[in-house]
Structure 1
Amino acid sequence: MSSSSLSTINELLAGSVGGAAQVLVGQPLDTVKTRAQIAPKGMFKGPMDVLTQTIRNEGFFALYKGMASPLFGIAGVNSLLFASYAAARRAVSPFGQLSLPQTALAGSMAGAANAILASPVEMFKVRMQGQYGGANDQRLRVIVREMWTQWGFRQGIMRGYWVTVAREIPAYAGFYTAYEFSKRKFIARYGSQQQLPVWALLASGSTGGIAYWLACYPLDVIKSRVQLRPTPPTGSPLQYMAHEVRAILAESGFRGLFRGLTPSLLRSIPAAASTFAAFEMTRSWLVDVTGV
């Protein structure tokens, strides 16, 4: 097996471990974030009310509602993301370390590729999180079956794909740029990546996670609403995204485009930190084992 193929496998395996860590750490606040975005007007007073009502009415483990979709899908999603980013880095420049603008370009390319798997995983997660403990709540397998039988692959399973693409491109441009900027500052202090303490990787991941949401948040709100719709959106992607923006502004004003941002930022700190710490440590271990 060639060294490039073995390196790609290392990226895939390390990405899977990082993705699992992200879901386990970040799912509760992700549920709060999604419900803040999609709940009917007046149902909740704010993110803290989402949290308290969810626990009071449905129990603590309702915060992990919808976790099965990302937990089982995140291995593929993060594997694709990290492998795509490694490939994009080589495509942007074969000459070692990228500049920050080149990093942003590689990150946006990886984000566009990542949307292929991220879109269905997100769609099923959102539809699970949009259930509030009622008698008609459905299990994930029922939702998967209904989306497939009623709407098919493109309008069912892949609903919201183009909004996800639109979200992932700026999100991962910001994510990787902020992460690399922060990590390089720590490397300049400690001498090499191998000498970085774990807290430096956690801090760099947190910086990337915050940049991710700041770069794309209104698009995430639009994506969640499109994916939760009882029927597929009509018109071109630009048309139905514009329709959702008008609906959000009519319902909640400009602030509606940022509903749930606070739990997203709070979630990004431990979730992204754990993702990159797990990824970097797993990849370092695999490099030691495989020599690539």
Structure 2
Amino acid sequence: MGSLATVNELLAGSVGGAAQVLVGQPLDTVKTRAQIAPKGMFKGPMDIIMQTVRKEGFFALYKGMASPLLGIAGVNSLLFASYAAARRAVSPFGQLTLPQTALAGSMAGAANAILASPVEMFKVRMQGQYGEAGDKRLRAIASEMWKDWGFRRGVMRGYWVTVAREIPAYAGFYTAYEFSKRKFAAHYGERPLPVWALLASGSTGGIAYWLACYPLDVIKSRVQLRAVPPTGTPVQYIAAETRAILAEAGWKGLFKGLSPSLLRSIPAAASTFAAFELTREWLAGVTGV
């Protein structure tokens, strides 16, 4: 029965992940370009949208979508299955407290980084192309990174900063998500919760996700886009990238692209967890688990 429940979590996670990518990719492109674009290239998020659409066409906002869409089944399946396992490891006695939820979320985030790191790396490198003649397709970028730098320094570039990002991000996400769900459940006493309550809870969690980790996301994107891999230990190269950002743009540089990230998180996280919860409920009805 436990293995079948895990399969349900994996399948529901895949559906939720696909919903997240399809809904959130345009603003994710805006967010990434705000983080990595040369100084002075864009005036702000709206200028990024206008220049991107004007120079590259509307579908350029979906640039880099192939990597997360192809990898999202694995990434979100791993995330949701890891969170379910972490919940059982933290406490086998039913509902977790919010601190226990934060711990389980951080454990799931650390596990999720295994697959999230290469998916993010390829996505960032696709989004870092601005419609020039020499722009490369995903297959060419993947082949180049593997050929030039290998698995650890190429495909998995930025792994440790991704781990550092995912731990507080998912601690914040799951805590806010569960808090919101419990407030709705206490007020309305409904099981299952209505779709709008799931959407609202997912949005709250998505906002908490970015507020908990955003500077680390900026650092991650820049590390993954650089022409050469970082040197030194993870602590050293994260510190070096932080100093470079501060020298270029001050503290504001660590929060470039935050507004489109927060705007993206509302529909993206809402659709992710509504799709996940509804799919899991449907599968539970079909399988009896």
TM-score by length of 2: 0.99
1:172-209 superposed Cα distances (whole Å, 9 cap, x missing partner): 00000000000000111221331x21110000000000
CA–CA distance in structure 1, aligned partners of residues 179 and 113 of structure 2: 24
1:86-117 superposed Cα distances (whole Å, 9 cap, x missing partner): 00000000000000000000000000000000
Q: Which residue identity is paired with 2:87? A: R
Percent identity over the alignment is 85
Q: What does residue 179 of structure 2 align with? A: 181
3-state DSSP of counterpart to 1:42: coil
Q: Which residue identity is paired with 1:114? A: N
CA root-mean-square deviation: 0.5
CA–CA distance in structure 2, aligned partners of residues 176 and 158 of structure 1: 26
Q: Which residue identity is paired with 2:113? A: A
2:244 equivalent among 243, 247, 250: 247
- Using the TM superposition, give the Cα deviation of residue 212 of structure 1 relative to its aligned residue in structure 2, in angstroms: 0.1
User: Structure 2 matches for 1:125-164, cutoff 5 A?
Assistant: 125-164=123-162
Q: Does 1:118 align with 2:109?
A: no
1:20 equivalent among 18, 39, 45: 18
3-state DSSP of counterpart to 1:253: helix
Q: What does residue 76 of structure 1 align with? A: 74
Q: Which residue identity is paired with 1:90? A: R
Q: What does residue 202 of structure 2 align with? A: 205
Q: What does residue 265 of structure 1 align with? A: 262
CA–CA distance in structure 2, aligned partners of residues 219 and 28 of structure 1: 21
Q: What does residue 40 of structure 1 align with? A: 38
3-state DSSP of counterpart to 1:10: helix
CA–CA distance in structure 2, aligned partners of residues 193 and 164 of structure 1: 36
Number of aligned residue pairs: 289
Q: Does 1:94 align with 2:92?
A: yes
Structure 1 runs of 4+ aligned residues shifted over 6 Å read none
Q: What does residue 226 of structure 1 align with? A: 223
3-state DSSP of counterpart to 1:267: helix
CA–CA distance in structure 2, aligned partners of residues 190 and 68 of structure 1: 40
Structure 1: state its 5+ residue gaps.
none
Q: Which moved more, 1:182-191 or 1:282-291?
A: 182-191
1:127-186 superposed Cα distances (whole Å, 9 cap, x missing partner): 000000000000000000000000000000000000000000000000000000000001
Q: Does 1:279 align with 2:276?
A: yes
Q: What does residue 66 of structure 1 align with? A: 64
Structure 2: state its 5+ residue gaps.
none
3-state DSSP of counterpart to 2:229: coil
3-state DSSP of counterpart to 1:143: helix
Q: Which residue identity is paired with 1:77? A: V
1:190-249 superposed Cα distances (whole Å, 9 cap, x missing partner): 21331x211100000000000000000000000000000100000000100011111101
